A and B are shown apart, each in its own frame.
Chain A
Amino acid sequence: MNITYNLPAIGTQLVLGAGVILVLLADLLTGKKNRDVAYQTTLTVLVLAGIICVMKWGSAGAGFGGQVFGDGFASFFNLAFLAIAFLVVFNSPNYLKRNEIDHGEYYMLILIAVLGMTFMSSAGDLLIFFLGLETMSISLYVLAGFHKSRARSNESSLKYLLLGAFFTGFLLYGIALIYGQVGSTNLADITSYLAGSANPLGGYMGVGLALLLVGLLFKMAVVPFHFWSPDVYDGAPTPVTAFMSAAPKAAAFAAALRIFYDPAISLGLPWDKTLWIAAALTITLGNFAALAQSSIKRMLAYSSITHAGYLMIGLAAGNELGASGMLYYLFTYGFMNVGAFTIAWLVNRRGEGNYLLSDFAQLGSRNPVMALLMSIFMLSLTGIPPLAGFFGKLYVFSAGVKAGLIWLVVIAVLNSVVSVFYYLRVMVIMYMREEEGLKDLEKAPTVAITAILCGLVILLLGLFPGPLLDLARESVLSLL
């Protein structure tokens, strides 16, 4: 047996894995008195992992006999996961303390979820991908139910677990069938099998690939596999929701790109009948459902479904512009979403589950900075230039047009016209609605810093999208 281990290829994962144990032990030793040690250790671990990720950017190559890749693509996504996790963790103590769920396991679980994601983005083998997916999912199931004493949180967790297990079954069965046909779970082997086969979908392969796709679509919360997500997002603690609606989705897209972004594979698959329709449905349904929401949390949940739909266009386009557009989109979307959720729970005054839009009334005069930031997030989610959200859409849609998916792009553009309505409503409420009996916002420096950071990133990546887009392109090129 001759395996090249190449540990640098999983440098980020090693740091995270060691970090999980460290946080766990640190919390066991100090947690009785306070959570500060666990909190600070987690942030340090995330930063360290980020440093390793940047230092080894794209240079690590394949490891463990091609089962993991430390290429630019993996580095790009890993950095995105780490950034999102950092922002979420950074302002979590405030929320956890306020809701009396300040347990050290929270930090450990987030780290484990990130660890799973990093394996998904760097997997060169379906089994590694599957392990990563399960590592991520199981800790998310627990995180969704982290509000132990709250029924909605429990409901959220249970629904996620049941449906997640259901689809894990499909996914694993798909992998088994592919293995049965190809005789390997290695992505390179599968690609060369498909490229060399006259009837790529023959045998067990068609069913296998379909089930694999379905498993991914479930994690992306794409219609009609989205049913779990509004309920789960709504019931989960808000920082967890912010995390869940950005990072795991990105991880699922990363895995999808790794597996399917290869002309040898994507050309032979019936994308026009599956991804096309799923994307159109996702965008439209997510949008129209978001319109009807009076809770900002649910609105953002549906909005994240819509955005997954936009991203699907990039996947369906299957060209370089689409893939790099998706990378850009996912990276910036994380910041918009975390920012919006962060402000949402700061503003919310009636407790979990009642994130009423009307809570935002007069935020413009109560707290102009937060209102301005929220406006930036909303406008960016709408896709108004010159904010980062616009460019994500521009690239992905352009890629769609380039690939000949004109009608899909038309549907998407029409829908983003509709989406203005509910994003802008938040702004209208903030600046123009009068409401009695609103309390002043509680002082929460970490929350303010997070929101400002997110706002700045979105603004800067909108004004100077070049470097990030170049990086995204290089990352996509490193895939092949």
Chain B
Amino acid sequence: MNFGPIFLFLIAAGGVVFVALFLNRMLAPRKPNPEKLSTYECGEEAVGSPWIRFNTRFYVIALIFLVFDVEVLFLFPWAVNLKSLGMFAWIEMAVFIIILSVGLAYVWAKRDLEWIKPDSDEIQAALRQSSQTITDK
């Protein structure tokens, strides 16, 4: 096998990273403060006891993300070989994406894409009522 192109590709990739970091260092203004220097961790405190309560919303969002992430994983090999696989594979992938879209629709309809999700219909009704009273005032 000829690994030449792959080697070149590796060098180029490394180069791009290096150049990007270098340029960034050169051009960006630097005004550090403690908040800026802390490690970024999705809005959570990065340091502290690991035994704290996480918001369960993270898991739901992570799951939804994973589903579509995996979808993409399937799409790549399919896309590469689409010509040889033919019409049937195209229809199969269409079915696959439709199924996932239904999932998306479900998640949407169940309000799982919203960060704050009222737990039940009653709470929702109560919320609606309270907002009503606010507007009434």
Contact = CB atoms under 8 A, between A and B. Distances in A.
Interface of A: 1, 5, 21, 24-25, 28
Interface stretch (B9-17, B25-33, B99-107): B99-107
Contact of B88 (A5, A21, A24, A28): A5
A1 B86 CA distance: 11
Contacts of B98: 21
Contacts of B109: 28
Contact of B85 (A1, A24, A28): A1
B102 A24 contact: yes
B2 interface: no
Nearest to B88: A5
Contacts of B105: 25, 28
Contacts of A1: 84-85
Contacts of B102: 21, 24-25
Contacts of A24: 102, 106
Contacts of B84: 1
6 contacts: A21-B99, A24-B102, A25-B102, A28-B105, A28-B106, A28-B109
Contacts of B88: 5
A1 B105 CA distance: 35
Nearest to B121: A32
Interface in B55-110: 84-85, 88, 98-99, 102, 105-106, 109
A371 B98 CA distance: 49
A25 B105 CA distance: 9
Instruction: Please classify the interface of chain A as helix (H, G, I), strand (E, B), loop, or mixed, using the class held by over half of its residues.
Output: helix
A105 to B, nearest CB: 9
A28 B105 CA distance: 9
A5 B99 CA distance: 20
A5 B86 CA distance: 13
The size bracket of the interface on B is under 10
A28 B106 CA distance: 7
Nearest to B102: A21
A25 B99 CA distance: 11
**8 nearest CB pairs, A to B:** A28-B109, A21-B102, A24-B106, A24-B102, A5-B88, A28-B106, A21-B99, A25-B102
Contacts of B99: 21
A24 B98 CA distance: 13
B91 to A, nearest CB: 10
B97 to A, nearest CB: 13
Nearest to A108: B106
A200 B64 CA distance: 44
A99 to B, nearest CB: 16
Contacts of A5: 88
A107 to B, nearest CB: 14
Contacts of A25: 102, 105
- Listed residue (B84, B85, B105, B106) with the most chain A CB atoms within 10 angstroms of its CB: B106
A15 B84 CA distance: 28
Contacts of A21: 98-99, 102
A34 to B, nearest CB: 13
A150 B17 CA distance: 53
Nearest to A27: B106
A1 to B, nearest CB: 7
A1 B98 CA distance: 26
A145 to B, nearest CB: 15
B125 to A, nearest CB: 12
Contacts of B106: 24, 28
B51 to A, nearest CB: 19
Nearest to A14: B95
A28 B88 CA distance: 30
A154 B131 CA distance: 35
Nearest to B95: A17
A299 B73 CA distance: 47
Nearest to A22: B102
Contacts of A28: 105-106, 109
A1 B84 CA distance: 8
A24 B106 CA distance: 8
Nearest to A28: B109
A37 B98 CA distance: 22
B80 to A, nearest CB: 13
A192 B52 CA distance: 55
Nearest to B86: A1
Nearest to A32: B121
Nearest to A25: B102
A24 B99 CA distance: 11
Nearest to B99: A21
Given A21-B102, A24-B102, A28-B106, 4 more contacts: A1-B84, A5-B88, A21-B99, A28-B105
A28 B99 CA distance: 15
Nearest to B81: A1
Interface string B106-133: 1001000000000000000000000000
A5 B87 CA distance: 12
B119 to A, nearest CB: 11
A477 to B, nearest CB: 32
A25 B106 CA distance: 8
A217 to B, nearest CB: 30
A1 B82 CA distance: 12
